[in-house]
Amino acid sequence: MALCSRTIGVLGLGDVVNAVGAMFVDLYEVTMAQAYMAQGLQGTAVFETFFRRLPACRSYALAAGVEDVLDFLEAFHFDEDDIEYLRTLELFSGEFLVQLSNLRFTGDVWAVPEGTPVFPDEPVLQVVAPLVEAQLVETYVLNQVHLQSVVASKAVRVVEAGRGRAVIDFGSRRAHGTDAALKAARASFLAGVAGTSNLLAARRYAIPAFGTMAHSFVQAFNDERAAFAAFAQLYPGTTLLVDTYDTLRGVDEVIGLAARLGERFDVRAVRLDSGDLASLSKAARARLDAAGLQRVQIVASSGLDECGVAALVGVDSPIDAFGVGTRLVLSEDAPTLDMVYKLVSYEGAVRTKLSADKAVYPGRKQVFRREEHGVFCGDTIGQHAEDLPGEPLLVPVMKNGVRVPGRVTSLRDLRRGAREQVAALPSELRRIEACSGSYPVSVSDRVAGDLDQLRHAAERW
């Protein structure tokens, strides 16, 4: 790998769980919770998380964020400070606040494995729990699954564009906040990015850490020659940033350093961070090769996304790795999915929403994915209890508020699974230059029948 890389041991679970707690909730969820309790509505509810449509520039989404949701649910509770704050709102009875202080998540969760390609209307995560519990976790579920799925869906495109060249997350400084930066690093690694520049994300999720120098290091010295010599001496196998003043002159300085050090020269790569990266990389490669430095790799960064990476690869730019930042962590071209968390069943009775352009398929569901010759060929959204052709995608991940044991949960294993899943997609869905491919997703007769019955019933109300 071209940049300095370190893999740092993962923290314990207690260090990984976010400290936001149950108060990461919207007010209306708490007001509904009190109203549910007042009306005796404490039966089992099923809520499903899905998105209604794909952005124009996406052919599929990559599911992510499930494990962070499970961390949150296992630790779910309102502490004394939370209860005291809620009391100051003068909306909630003392009896309700006592009930809330004793509340824990006791439900079940089903989800598609992280790294699974998903399509509109397909449940990504399903909460089966007492109505109050299921309602109160809505905001956190959506926050985590939405953000990480958005970033993973972007990252996998950048990785595909690289055609085997390493891609590194450089985006934490421009992410929308610290939690977004950490979760973007996690989701990007899941999707195939090689590592991150952010040390907290690297430590938290056991992701390889990458990084070398900034332009300020070179600027602090009187000239590049001194800066490069000092850094290379301290960090064998490093990458030198060569474009502070003039890119090709910087490359020549690296060649001069190699001549002076001889066998002691140990620079792994040069990094280009500005200008015409295609022409500069070719000129840099020619100069390095002429000096006998074929082993020195080239890393490129500077406002890249999948289109920029694909363009560079397409003209045979001799670039070995790409640093991708802002446009990755913000998913600049498609920063949101139309993701929702909807009640589909209560006490065994199917429920729906019939708002214009926002109808919800009722009932607890399962997604069945078919494949032919190792390639996915279509999905069917069926009732949870149906037995339809294909592999069921939703699997149990939590039972009675506790994680189901024996599942694949390590980020590296999930990453491996994501790679296999993406490789099984039809080739037209994996194209970077055009997002015109469509994937067949149908709804079973039973699910469609439930929706029709509820529509007819609504006409009589």
pLDDT number for residue 93: 98
Q: Is the pLDDT of residue 56 over 70?
A: yes
Q: Among candidates 27, 42, 36, which has minimal Cα distance to 86?
A: 27
Instruction: Give the chain's mean pLDDT.
Output: 94
pLDDT number for residue 356: 79
Band of residue 212 on the pLDDT scale cut at 50, 70, 90: confident
**Percentage of the chain modeled with pLDDT above 90:** 90
Q: Is the pLDDT of residue 437 over 80?
A: no
Q: Among candidates 360, 391, 376, 383, which has minimal Cα distance to 444?
A: 383
3-state secondary structure of 345: strand
DSSP 11: P
Can you give the pTM of this predicted structure? 0.94
- Edge-to-edge, what's the strand order for the sheet holding 208-210? 5-7, 208-210, 195-196, 166-169, 321-324, 297-300, 267-272, 238-241
Contacts of 48 (CB under 8 A, 6+ apart): 123, 125, 126, 127, 341, 342, 344, 364, 365
Residues 166-195 pLDDT 10s:
999 999 999 999 999 999 999 999 999 999
DSSP 262: G
3-state secondary structure of 56: coil
Bigger pLDDT: 14 vs 305? 305
Q: Looking at 87-91, 238-242, 357-361, which range is the least confident one?
A: 357-361
| Strand 166-169 to 117-118 pairing | unpaired
DSSP 404: P
Q: Is the pLDDT of residue 322 over 80?
A: yes
| H and E: helices and strands count for the chain | 17, 21
DSSP 7: E
**Mean pLDDT across the stretch 277-303?**
98
**Mean pLDDT across the stretch 257-270?**
98
CB 112 within 8 A of CB 366: no
CB 167 within 8 A of CB 305: no
Band of residue 348 on the pLDDT scale cut at 50, 70, 90: very high
pLDDT number for residue 436: 61
Give CA separation, 160 vs 144, 172, 422, in Å: 24, 21, 10
CB 170 within 8 A of CB 325: yes
Residues 106-155 pLDDT 10s:
999 999 999 999 999 999 999 999 999 999 999 999 999 999 999 999 99
pLDDT number for residue 355: 82
Band of residue 459 on the pLDDT scale cut at 50, 70, 90: confident
Bigger pLDDT: 14 vs 187? 187
**CA distance between the termini of the chain:** 65
pLDDT number for residue 433: 76
Phi, psi of 111 (to 5 degrees): -155, 160
Phi, psi of 312 (to 5 degrees): -65, -40
CB 31 within 8 A of CB 401: no
